[in-house]
Chains A and B, each alone.
Chain A
Amino acid sequence: MTTGRLAFSSSQVQYDPEGDRTTAVERPSGTADEGMQIRQFVSEAHSRGTRGQAWQDSLASIGIRSDVQPAGLQNFAAASMRGEADGLVLARLTVGAQTLSPLAGRPRLPIVLISRDEAINVTLPLDVLTVEPGSLVILPAASQWQIALQKNVRLIALSVADTLFHGPKTGLQALTMPQHHPPEGFAGIFIKSVEAAALEMDRLSAIEWSCLEDAVADLFFALLLQGERTEVLARPSLAALFHRVTLRLERHLHETELTAGRIARLEGISERYLQKLFEQNGESFSHYVRERRLQRARAALVAPGDIRLPVADVAFTCGFGDAANFSRLFKERFGMPPGAFRTHYTEKASGGAASTDQRGWPVKALASKQPQPRLPAGDVSGEAVSDGTPSRPPTHHRLSVNASTIHWGYFSRGLEPVLEIRSGDTVEIETLTQHASDAPDLMIRGDAAAEDVFAWTPTHKAVDRRGAGPLDASIYGRGAGEGFGVHICTGPIFIKDAEPGDVVEVRIDSMTPRPSRSPGYEGRAFGSSVAAWWGYHYNELLQAPRPRENITIYEIFADDEDAHAQALFSYRWQPQTDPFGVVHNTYDYPGVPVDRSSVEMVSPVLSGVRIPLRPHFGVIAVAPREAYMVDSVPPAYFGGNLDNWRLGAGSVVYLPVSVPGALLSIGDPHATQGDGELAGTAIECSMTGSVTVVLHKKGGRFDDLTYPLIETPTEWVLTGFSHPNYLAEFGAKSQGEVYTKSSLDLAMKDAFRKARRFLMEFQGLSEDEAIALMSAAVDFGVTQVVDGNWGVHAIIRKALFHG
């Protein structure tokens, strides 16, 4: 692997883990992406037919094989790896149901596995070892083992080459039985270190990585010896003796006149025996001493307390008598002189990003969360509606909105369908915006359905659960569901014969704003846009008071020739006390009725500004498979809160089905939105849509579709996310972590991979053609930066292929 992506000045060289020096190639342009050293696999990047093989290739670099067939990897899988086979290889893996085993013919290295949130069973020839979450198992090179995974798990895998031990190899050879270490004592420290390393490895420079390699190797070796000692009681092995000698050496490294004879005397063995010990470990005493001194010097150069110590002094404290000689040796070993190394390191060491309050589940709360197998009784809204009685397709259905046909703030595979339809049927579906309560007198009053859904008095709350959080609001106390998810979704709709692996096509035939029924406003339409605390702007407001949330109410003129929205008035959010007496200092729970007398209306606002309409549904989702209760805010492979304004009348979205019947939900209607949805919301406006739903059975044209694909009359719009399947990627803590780990850079990467795959699979291009076409003709845009899982879309014009 070349290391040329680092933009050192051309005279410098960089340490290459393989031991030879590589000239750092300065590139004429582009990015210095140190991520080059990270190898990534995401199932979404590959077509279904090839991803199994690509997955095997990825696993092979850590010495593991899987029983999935080349075309057999159906579920999400991901791997991030760093390091080379003759050093440290560290991997974060997300693995679905499959069986893992050692790769035949791999180097004779043990593999270390840590399971992050599920117990795994390691089947050995005579035994089955259960490895609890957070524990570690060391699987020797020589042993045969199998791990049969039943469901999605996250693993950390590690392999350490003997070259990293700078001599002592006996520990690796001695290991014949698997070692199992619970996360306690020394093993606990090792596990925590490896976990931290695995999470941070993407961010490490080449030099930081090689420091890490040494540190992990040292800890690992000590752990191996410890394990060995507990098994082979009190028999001081050669390895233990050698280890003791090396420890002794460490204490005397600073002596410039250190000799083998002196160490031998101190250990009470002959100098000849000592030399032999080193030879048996493939080392010489002098080389070993030099290597350890260099390693120590490297650490000392950047040790916080010694950072101002002159290089010559560092050399001296590490046992080098001559500073010039030290500089030469250091450069030979690490690829740059000690001074440059120190400068480079200190430049890299910049502070981490400050985190702010996040939406959705706090990660800490998820850590202690108990599995929630069933929805509490009475929470599922509504029951099967009879107007969808199966008949000859296509049938036209009406799905009106009321408290029994919606679910608020979450998706769940456990919800009872409110309507059953067949492929080809059309549905007129009413949706309500959760922001109607921002101006109840315009958007709720007089509207029986909206009044039903939003009904909330001190004794009665028609829709209690709002969000995927706990019903007892035990985390923040905001209200049932905690507002971990905010959208009012109409549905779910059961699509007959839909099964996992199929694709559901939802065609938006028309969309109409819901007219106000409020006395004095009848027939007019209104929407609300909140510049909310989850908006992109929130932490860097210019004007006081800071921070603040601001709500703008718009009137929607959908029937005009130039359909547009115009702002009516705005107000700053003031603490609102909901009917249960909970005070909402920020907009932290959906549907809290705003008391007009508590806020100050500003009007006119955005005077003279007319915003063209782009009516669309923000949320179109099928139920995800990974979790029972899923926050409606972050979009992902199942659709959800896509917030792409291109998903309006005349457009289609294709969604991969995860559960029988698909369980389609639609909501979060928007009158218009910009690419980015910067302040956190669009113009949120209740609307009624007419949709046609078509089921595409497995094996057809959309067989390779594993993400929401939008088709407009003229374009294909592919949806990229920071984390294409965050539920699988982050495991049990996914619904918290996704909010902390979003990035446009990641979303761009995902959009690129999806566009490449689409062009290769759907249009039959080679990889090189696909890339050339993307550069010349595919437009990438920012979908949203406010929904937890940020979005970048790729727009592929259909006209390209009709030439």
Chain B
Amino acid sequence: MTRHHLPATPSTVHWGYFSKTLAPVLTIASQDRVVIETITHHANDDAERMITGDPAAEEIFRWTPEEKTMRRRGAGADEGPFTRGSGEGVGVHLLTGPIAIEGAEPGDVIEVRIVDAHPRPSANPAYAGRFFGSNPSANWGFQYNDLIEEPKHREVVTIYELDMTEPATVSALYSYLWTPQTDPDRIVHPTIDYPGVPVDHTTVTRKEGILSGIKVPARLHFGTMGLAPAEADFVSTIPPNYTGGNMDDWRITKGARMYYPVAVAGGLFSVGDAHASQGDSELSGTAVEISLTGEFEFILHKKADLPGTALEGLNHPLLENNEVWSVYGFSYANYLSELGPDHQNEILKRSSLDLAMRDAFRKLRRFLMTVHALSEDEAISLMSVAADFSITQVVDANWGVTGSIRKCVFDR
């Protein structure tokens, strides 16, 4: 077992897309461990706290009229003229990777164990050693068309501090209403429509004393983690899909094992979009977005070895921890192949919990029948009386319902 370190630098990150065309930034053997740095794409919501003084973050977010380090952000057009910028923000997450796992081939399964996760401290001397995150209530949030107070259709960014003193909690520092931001390329962003746009804090009004007295228990996790899909060269990071991606499940945390079906040679694993905390549904469109560094262990399960294991027939992401097995249902189990050539747009129009519930039901039934050798009738009875379905997220275009079955049900 080798232990690698993968820092976040302009040459080890990609922004807003998964791509089978990307060259791996690291190639590892099965059972290797990698310490991976991730930087949140929301760091520019308060650059002073989350970027200033951090050379890697400063380099990645550098954007002046002359220079933009990370040009492409998203799977959209990378040739102008742009509506919003290169990549057009079709996909927003800043991901570290990809990492190739030697010998991984389509049909195999890659297991990713999260060994550890800790926050990236602010490097600004004024805040040295403290941890900050951002939670925008954004235009893609569930609330956006259903606001009571004026102005309707507003976006509000709340900046949080993470206190790692046990038990770790997050508390709000201040919030501000999004105002149109002009990026260094002179494109105006009336809403949060492109990642990494520097927020000019002279144009916003801070509201202090919000959520006062409220401490949210921390749930450090990685919102986006997964492998490159085979169907297209550039795939938005927003909709989660069969190879994982933007799952936004807070259970994908220390102690969790994630299993992903391999779609391309090497698997091409990327991770980012770390969260300090999130509720089931990620209602406002984002979690408390924060930069985390994680330690991961990778185990390759070859296709031929899968029968008779929990991974037999796996064609979707699967979570295991000490308590449960969880399957992830989506509005579309593989939207890339189900929705035709315009899948990036189509999926935006077809989000539905009803479809996601249907998918979760089918996946859990398959899991119980295949892995636990239950008859269909047994599987259905067990699901009714012992499986819990929860709402993973309603903001990532391909909406999610998680179906979980407790391991203790089978242990004896």
Chain A residues at the B interface, C-beta cutoff of 8 Å: 2, 5-10, 25-36, 40, 45-46, 50, 54, 529, 531, 535-537, 540-543, 548, 550, 552, 554, 565, 567, 570, 572, 605-606, 608-612, 672-683, 743-745, 748-749, 752-753, 756, 765-769, 771-782, 785, 792, 795, 797, 799-801, 803
A779-B388 CB under 8 A given contacts A29-B397, A803-B214: no
B284-A771 in contact (CB<8A): yes
B121-159 interface bits toward A, Cβ cutoff 8 Å, 1 = contact, 0 = none: 000000000000001011111111111110001101010
> Which residues of chain A come closer than 8 Å to B375, judged between CB atoms?
543
A552-B381 in contact (CB<8A): yes
Q: Nearest-CB distance from B87 to chain A (Å)?
A: 10
Besides A29-B92, A45-B148, A676-B387, 8 more A-B contacts (Cβ < 8 Å) are: A26-B345, A29-B397, A743-B354, A745-B353, A749-B142, A772-B135, A772-B175, A795-B280
By beta carbon, the residue of chain A nearest B396 is A29
By beta carbon, the residue of chain B nearest A348 is B349
A682-B384 CB under 8 A given contacts A28-B74, A608-B410, A781-B389: yes
Q: Nearest-CB distance from B341 to chain A (Å)?
A: 11
B138-A611 in contact (CB<8A): no
B348-383 interface bits toward A, Cβ cutoff 8 Å, 1 = contact, 0 = none: 111111101100011001000100001111101111
> Which residues of chain A come closer than 8 Å to B25, judged between CB atoms?
none
A606-B281 CB under 8 A given contacts A776-B288, A801-B213: no
A674-B386 in contact (CB<8A): yes
Q: Nearest-CB distance from A549 to chain B (Å)?
A: 10
A535-B380 CB under 8 A given contacts A30-B140, A32-B348, A800-B214: yes
B385-A682 in contact (CB<8A): yes
B145-A611 in contact (CB<8A): no
> Which residues of chain A come closer than 8 Å to B23, judged between CB atoms?
none
Sample of 11 A–B contacts (CB below 8 Å): A29-B92, A29-B238, A529-B384, A674-B388, A681-B384, A745-B354, A774-B279, A780-B281, A780-B390, A782-B390, A803-B214
Complex-state Cα separation, A752 to B146, whole angstroms = 10
Q: Nearest-CB distance from A643 to chain B (Å)?
A: 11
Q: Is B96 interfacial (CB 8 A cutoff)?
A: no
Complex-state Cα separation, A606 to B356, whole angstroms = 27
B313-356 interface bits toward A, Cβ cutoff 8 Å, 1 = contact, 0 = none: 00000000000000000000000000000100100111111101
Complex-state Cα separation, A120 to B403, whole angstroms = 49
Complex-state Cα separation, A744 to B361, whole angstroms = 14
By beta carbon, the residue of chain A nearest B350 is A32
Complex-state Cα separation, A753 to B142, whole angstroms = 10
Q: Nearest-CB distance from A679 to chain B (Å)?
A: 4
A27-B386 in contact (CB<8A): no
* A776 contact from B153, B216, B236, B389, Cβ within 8 A: B216
By beta carbon, the residue of chain A nearest B286 is A775
B147-A780 in contact (CB<8A): no
> How many B residues are at the interface, by size bracket?
35 or more
> Which residues of chain B come closer than 8 Å to A536, judged between CB atoms?
357, 361
A772-B381 CB under 8 A given contacts A612-B406, A792-B391: no
A606-B279 in contact (CB<8A): no
* A609 contact from B210, B349, B409, Cβ within 8 A: B409
> Which residues of chain B come closer than 8 Å to A678, judged between CB atoms?
361, 380, 383-384, 387, 389
B395-A7 in contact (CB<8A): no
A31-B351 in contact (CB<8A): yes
A531-B381 in contact (CB<8A): yes
By beta carbon, the residue of chain B nearest A35 is B145
Q: Nearest-CB distance from B380 to chain A (Å)?
A: 5
Q: Is B89 interfacial (CB 8 A cutoff)?
A: yes
A748-B353 in contact (CB<8A): yes
B216-A781 in contact (CB<8A): no
A7-B287 in contact (CB<8A): no
B214-A780 in contact (CB<8A): no
B385-A611 in contact (CB<8A): yes
Q: Nearest-CB distance from A472 to chain B (Å)?
A: 34
Complex-state Cα separation, A608 to B345, whole angstroms = 47
B387-A803 in contact (CB<8A): no
Interface hit among B48-56, B61-69, B190-198? B190-198
Complex-state Cα separation, A674 to B138, whole angstroms = 33
A609-B156 in contact (CB<8A): no
> Which residues of chain A come closer than 8 Å to B156, judged between CB atoms?
768, 771-772
> Which residues of chain A come closer than 8 Å to B160, judged between CB atoms?
776
